[in-house]
A = this chain, B = another copy of it.
Amino acid sequence: RYHRIALLPGDGIGQDVIAEGVQTLNLLASLAGDFRLETQSFDWSCEYYLQHGRMMPPEALNTLREFDAIYFGAVGFPTVPDHVSLHGMLLPIRQEFDLYVNLRPIRLLPGLEGPLRGRTTADVNFVCVRENTEGEYARSGGRIQVGTPQEVATQTAIFTRQGTERIIRYAFELARREGRHKVTSATKSNALQYSMVFWDEVYSAVAAEYPDITADKWHVDALAARFVTHPQTLDVVVSSNLFGDILTDLGGALQGSLGLPPSGNIHPVAETRRGPSLFEPVHGSAPDIAGKGIANPIGGIWSGQIMLEYLGEREAATQLMRAIEAVTAAREVLTPDLGGRATTVEVGKAIRTALRKL
């Protein structure tokens, strides 16, 4: 089996972690012997922007469309405004390719301490499923009387039934597939009486089709609190785009370092696919440590693991997760964000050594 992967390492530590990820995935392929990755790298980034006045060339999306998956590092540069780097690259890819699932496992890896007192990997182990194409990110709104005391700004969230139903359904399907027992919905229907009352109605309707899965819901404020007070009660969390953005960063924080959380931006239905899915660590380009060789590569490598699952390479994906966990459990080779002294490359190598030993 061949998988064509577009590499978009981007800026700063994005480059370091994708380099480790690619080596690790290639090793997996050669150990497995029955699949191969064909990679092509693109230098689209803020650095590219500073030279060419845009984050990606005009034909970029068409170029990417030919690939099976995109392996993305991070974009962002102190001198390039955030909205340029994001709206010029990541957000258009999510929306053009209709990558409606933002998948973010939240797991405290074995051997690591998170910020929560007395919590271990047994307590913090759930999956966040975030809507990724509509809702609060609809880019709808306006401003009048700009700059005057009379100014008014509006921002409109747009929820469609199709968009809401498919993300909620994905959460229940994922629960079944992974043998998880509960789906929790983030709502705020006590205050947002159009969007979230609608969300709740769709949620109830879909939940009724999955009698084998417990369905509960919490207002997003209470749910954020529960991430901290009752993480062990969470299994699969489904949410709108903005709520998921907040909850998954919070969840990421529970993992002990921002260098750890991975993500997939996925269109899971083959028939309606408009382009490749995209896999990226949750962390940014981290200009403060860029070039120092000490970025934690686990978030990037773990994102590669989610990519393998998406590509159907289940067994390789399972192996890779085991290798990552073996390295954190051993606590011998960890980057400074986890209290260790290892470099990015050393952690990458340790994971590959662990893979060879499995």
Contacts and interface: CB of A to CB of B under 8 A. Distances in A.
Contacts of A161: 145, 148-152
Given A115-B116, A156-B155, A194 B252 contact: no
A157 interface: yes
Interface centre among A145, A194, A199, by most chain B C-beta atoms within 10 angstroms, is: A194
A220 B148 CA distance: 26
B160 A152 contact: yes
A115 B153 contact: no
Contacts of A122: none
Interface stretch (A8-16, A25-33, A184-192, A327-335): A184-192
Interface stretch (A59-67, A133-141, A291-299, A344-352): A133-141
A321 interface: no
A52 B188 CA distance: 27
Given A151-B160, A154-B159, A221 B246 contact: yes
A83 to B, nearest CB: 6
A354 interface: no
A249 to B, nearest CB: 4
A174 interface: no
6 contacts: A82-B190, A115-B116, A153-B199, A155-B195, A188-B245, A221-B245
Interface of A: 82-83, 86, 91, 113-118, 136-137, 139-143, 145, 148-162, 188-199, 220-222, 224-229, 242, 245-250, 252-254, 258
Given A115-B117, A225-B253, 20 more contacts: A83-B197, A115-B228, A115-B229, A139-B193, A142-B194, A143-B198, A151-B198, A152-B159, A153-B158, A154-B194, A155-B159, A156-B156, A156-B157, A188-B245, A220-B245, A221-B246, A221-B250, A225-B258, A229-B253, A246-B246
